[in-house]
Each structure stands twice: as structure tokens, then as C-alpha cells.
Structure 1
Amino acid sequence: MTTPRKGPGGQRPGSGQRSRKGRQRPQQTAGRAPATPTTKAAKPRPILRRIRVKPPWRMSGRTAVVALVLSVLALTYAYPVRTYIEQRSEINALLESQGAQADRIKELKAERAKWNDPDYVRAQARQRLLMVRPGEELIIMVNSPDSDSRGGGKHHKKSGKPWYSDLWDSFHEADQIGHK
């Protein structure tokens, strides 16, 4: 077994005192005399200590990298998520529209079924086209008593006023009917 060599101060290398920053202080050499108090009474020096005040929260490098990665991920996913939400809302609108169209198709099929009935077709021909069967007579009443309910309006007698006055009066009468 070998013993490690001793340095100039008689100590092993690396066994010297370390400074506050972690570096090794040089050891005393043989040419220097050790520091001894002088003949005067030396006052003891007050011990000064450095107190480290921690600054308010600092972001470490690792925290900064994690925050950066999360920010990049959020920005990366923001546009696709927005597109997804827009597409879902468009799909929902189209589904609602499709449901409304399906209801309209049902109504039209029911109406088509009515038109397949010959009695319904005859009734519509009489009402809309004023058609009659052979041997029947068609009577149309021009001045019927219930013409007001059909929109015929009142029949005005000729007045001595010009036509535009009658027209203006009819506008006022129409306004009065609309406000009732």
C-alpha cells in the first residue's frame, strides 16, 4: 500500500482550506512566518458575515423551458381547436336544416297524397279554376253581400271630388282599418 505524497507544507494535496467560492487557498509556504499577534494587545476583529438575501422568485432554466414548450403547444393546438369548433357548429346547423327539410318533405308527400285523390282534385278545380262538370251551371256573384270579407271593399258612389282625393281618402281608410 502506498501513501500519498505530501505537499510543501507537510499536508496532502487537496487538504488545504477552501475559499468561499470553492477554490482551494494556497497553503503557507516554509518561507513565511505564521501570523502571530504583536506585542500590543490586538483587538479582536468583529466577525463579519455575508447574509445572502434571496431575490424574489426567479424562473429557473428548466421552468423557462417548460413554460416555452407549453406556450408553443397551446399556440400549435389553438388553430386546429378553433377550426374543429367552427366545423362542429356548422355540422349542427346543417343537421337542424336537414331536420327542417325532412319535415317539409313529409308535408309535401302528404299534399301529393291529397292530389292523388280524385275528389280533392275536383274540389280544387271548382274552387281555383272555376270548372264545372258537364250539365252543371256556373254562377259567379259579382256584388255579393259578403264581398267585404273577401277583400272587395266598400263601393264608393261618385263624388264631386277629383280622383286623387278619392285615392288619398282610401289610403286613410286603409290606415284606420289596420289600426283597429
Structure 2
Amino acid sequence: MATGGPRGPGRKPPKREPSGSSRGRKTTSARASAAAKKPVSSGSGPQLTTRAIVLLSVVLLLVASYTSTLHAWWEQRGDIQSSKAEIVMRKQAIADLEDEKDRWNDPAYVKQQARSRFGWVMPGEVGYRVIGTDGKVRGDVPTLDEPPAATTPQWYDKLWGSVKQSGKTPKAVKTEDPNAVIKKQ
């Protein structure tokens, strides 16, 4: 019985080419190009692997965390800008008030304000007012504001006043004659 080897009876073993031959490379490259030309049979498009899903979820988590941080930074930046603008505005208001205070220290400015606001005149001057046919003064007539009305004390002020009074010692009342008896009539 003739056995042809491990492949069965009557088969010849394949010829092996040396490892440096070009024919072996051609068949390997032909197989690779054939495999590359072979279409993917799934038909559902690109499939996500587990690594891609994990990577995508990590990227989305980072984007979400940086978005909230960026939002907070943006709000704080706006607050800083508005605070700086308010500081500049307040400094300008302080400078204006200091300038007005300096003007009130000038006696000439005080005289000018008294003349324009209250209609005052200096001793020896004569003040004139133009009166219309209806009997009212024409033009810009300075007037004083009404004095504030006397306010009645609030109930809690009265209550506190009575609490304060109750803590004081009563004053002695003087009588003319301590031995005098009051007569009833």
C-alpha cells in the first residue's frame, strides 16, 4: 500500500519556493488586494467598536464639564466688566461732588446761589418783579419749599417713651404747708 503522506493517497506535496522568491510575494499581494477589493457584507455602514463608544463618551463628558466651566467664566467676566464700569462711574460722581463742595466754599458762589434761588438782593440794591395783568409775578420766581409738617409720633415711639418713663424715679411735689389739711366744701 502506497501512502502518499499525510494528505492522502496519490497526492503530491506542494512545491515550496525559497523565502526570497518573488513568486511568493506576488501571490500574497494578490490575496491582499483581493481581500481589499472584497466589500463588507454587513451593509449597515461603519460599525462602532467598544473603544470608539468609550472614547466618544469620554469626549462628550469632557465637553459637558468644560462647557459649564466656560459658562461660569463668561458670567464672571461680565460681572467684572460691569463692576469696573460702576467703579469708574462712582469715581466720577465723587469727583463731581467734591467739585460742588469746593464751589460752596467760595463766597461769590454762595451769593450767586442766594440771588438766583431765593431772589435776595444785596443791601442798597433794589429788586424788581414784573407783575402781569392777572396780578401774578412773571418770569422765574424763586420760592421756598414748604416747611415739613409736624409728624405725630408713631405708636412704637410712644410705647418706648412710656418704657423709658417707667424706669425713672418720680419727682417729689412741693406743697406750701405740709401740715395743712385740705378742706372739703
TM-score tier, shorter chain, comes to 0.3 to 0.5
Q: State the TM-score, normalized to the length of structure 2.
A: 0.47
Higher relative contact order (CA 8 A, sep 6+): 2
Q: State the TM-score, normalized to the length of structure 1.
A: 0.48
Task: Select the structure that is richer in helix.
Answer: 2
